[in-house]
Amino acid sequence: MVKDLSVTLSGVRLDNPVIPASGTFGFGQEFTPYYDINILGSLSFKGTTREARFGNPTPRIAECPAGMLNSVGLQNPGVEHVLQDELPRLRSIFHKPIIANISGFSVEDYVYAVERLTEAEQVAILEINISCPNVHGGGMAFGTSCEAAAAITAAVKKVATKPVYIKLSPNVTDIVSIARACEDAGADGLSLINTLLGMRIDLQRRRPVLANVMGGYSGPGVFPVAVRMVYQVTGAVKIPVIGMGGVTTARDVIEMMMAGARAVQVGAANLVNPTACRDIIEALPGEMEKLHIDRLSDIQRI
């Protein structure tokens, strides 16, 4: 029997649940030499801010067992450039709904970027990143308090014309209370988890490997933490959740969905293997067959 991989997020139908995670896929261009990216369910583009950002000083990547640290610092060309240059170029290579990942340093920043991106035709979902661990005075600062998370959610909901998904940080004591605060403030969905705050030390230099000292850990090492948090959050909220964190295989996608995720983002795996998302999508029917699953959307939270 032909397997049905389709899923629906807030009324947006995706051919399959596999979405490259923001910051690991740029605006799609770098991956087109490797495969036709139209196989993807969607893609979440690089976190975009009101103004262009150069990002953090280098080194800003450190390899780790079972993953990597990044401290990119939201390098991006700014919302106007994204609208004028990146999105038209993306539209010429990718013909499906996209997710706009948006960051900021104040409520006004988020509102401005949402007002600009919500009208972009191809943008189907606005993913509001309140969980970047690599910047000061913004990013994760909004995602570690219920009040701040709710304030951002309510403010962007007032101007958004597309579904709003809030991207949550794992660097909190109680992710469920943050998730509930976002739901109560009107979020249409949630994305989780962003990276875990980590650090490496260069033994010869006796200095941190990263110029910014700390960074976000991602990769297969975080997968069990991500599954646990997705399971906890989906047990507590009614809105859909996009699960992510160390997803590397088709079986990981199915495991995330059994934890309650409606769709799944793939991040660090794209940096190890540029065809990771395609490989996962192509492997899904075979894994579904082994598990007697005909439709991915039939998967129930365990």
Which residues bind to ligand SIN, rule: CB under 6 A? 23, 47, 70-74, 129, 131-134, 194-195, 216
* Nearest residue (CB) to ligand SIN, 39 versus 271: 271
Which CB, 229 or 254, lies closer to ligand SIN?
229
The single residue of 132, 146, 182, 277 carrying the catalytic annotation is: 132
Q: Does residue 132 carry a catalytic annotation?
A: yes
* Beta strands in 39-91, from DSSP E residues, in sequence order: 61-64, 67-70
Give the dihedral sign, CA 130/132/118/183.
Answer: negative
- Token code pair at residue 87: 């999105």
Query: CA-CA distances (angstroms) from residue 220 to 134, 186, 249, 268?
Result: 20, 32, 10, 8
CA–CA gap between residue 296 and residue 261 (Å, rounded): 11
Distance of closest approach, residue 244 Cβ to ligand SIN, in angstroms: 11
In the complex, least distance from residue 32 CB atom to ligand SIN, rounded to whole angstroms: 22
User: With respect to ligand SIN, which residue has the nearer C-beta, 16 or 270?
Assistant: 270
CB of residue 45 vs ligand SIN: minimum separation in angstroms?
12
Closest of 188, 36, 19, 16 to residue 98, by C-alpha: 19
Q: Residue of minimal CB distance from ligand SIN?
A: 132
Nearer to ligand SIN, 6 or 75 (CB): 75
CB 213 to ligand SIN: min, Å:
13
| 194 phi/psi in degrees, rounded to 5 | -75, -170
Active-site residue numbers? 132
